[in-house]
Copies of this chain bind each other. A is one copy, B any other.
Amino acid sequence: MIFTVAEENYIKAVYHLQQEQETVSTNALSAELQTRPASVTDMLKKLKSKRIISYEPYHGVKLSNEGRKVALGIVRKHRLWEYFLVDKLQFGWDEVHEVAEELEHISSTKLVDKLDAFLGYPKFDPHGDPIPDSKGRLAAQQQEPLAAIPLNKTVEITAVGSQSSELLELLKHKGLQMGTRLEVKKIFDFDGSLELKSKNQQIVTISRDLASVLFVKPV
């Protein structure tokens, strides 16, 4: 089956929101896609008629098996292109999302598979998110939220939980990026803020909010 760019963006949005909530609300999609709820309802009817989602009025939406396959295909393209942009074209990891948002809609599967081979079948994108393989399989991530790491254990940043430019700006400012090694030195109960020691001995303070979107793995 063939999908329009708009349909693909909805399908991907449902997929992402389902990571948080088993069933996805009209308003959540409206917020994610910057589209009025009435427009979301229209599209949900259309996607239901194409059997991409299950949807009962007023009771939210889930991807069908077919829908999940389609979503993984789009996510695969998005993340492969991000990897390409960073690894081959020297983009910063904080400036690839917008472009990948367009590139993910190029339809040729031959292109995707050849790109995958050209890149050496990478398992994770520049933000640490897993890249589905050509059969839609995701590599298991043995990463944990930074909040769950004991003090003084050396870990490495492997993923961030959002692509917002505000977040990426903050990380850049703090000198944190994919692969940065650090230890949690202290957690303050008052506001949940953390003090980290990064590899080059620098002390960095981060908020609870920031810590909650950082994922790490032991080194």
Contacts and interface: CB of A to CB of B under 8 A. Distances in A.
A73 to B, nearest CB: 16
B108 A99 contact: yes
A99 B111 contact: yes
A91 B89 CA distance: 20
A107 interface: yes
Contact of A88 (B85, B95, B106, B118): B118
A106 B99 contact: yes
Given A103-B106, A106-B103, A114 B98 contact: no
A32 interface: no
Contacts of A95: 110
A110 to B, nearest CB: 8
A interface SS class: helix
A111 B85 contact: yes
A176 interface: no
A90 B116 CA distance: 12
B107 A102 contact: yes
A115 interface: yes
A91 B108 CA distance: 12
Interface string A67-99: 000000000000000000100111100010011
Interface string A104-123: 00111011001100100000
A114 B89 contact: yes
Nearest to A95: B110
A90 B108 contact: no
A114 to B, nearest CB: 4
Top 3 A-B pairs ranked by shortest CB distance?
Answer: A89-B114, A99-B108, A102-B106
8 contacts: A89-B111, A89-B115, A91-B110, A95-B110, A98-B108, A99-B106, A99-B111, A103-B106
Interface of A: 85, 88-91, 95, 98-99, 102-103, 106-108, 110-111, 114-115, 118
Given A88-B118, A91-B114, A103-B106, 4 more contacts: A85-B111, A89-B118, A95-B110, A99-B108
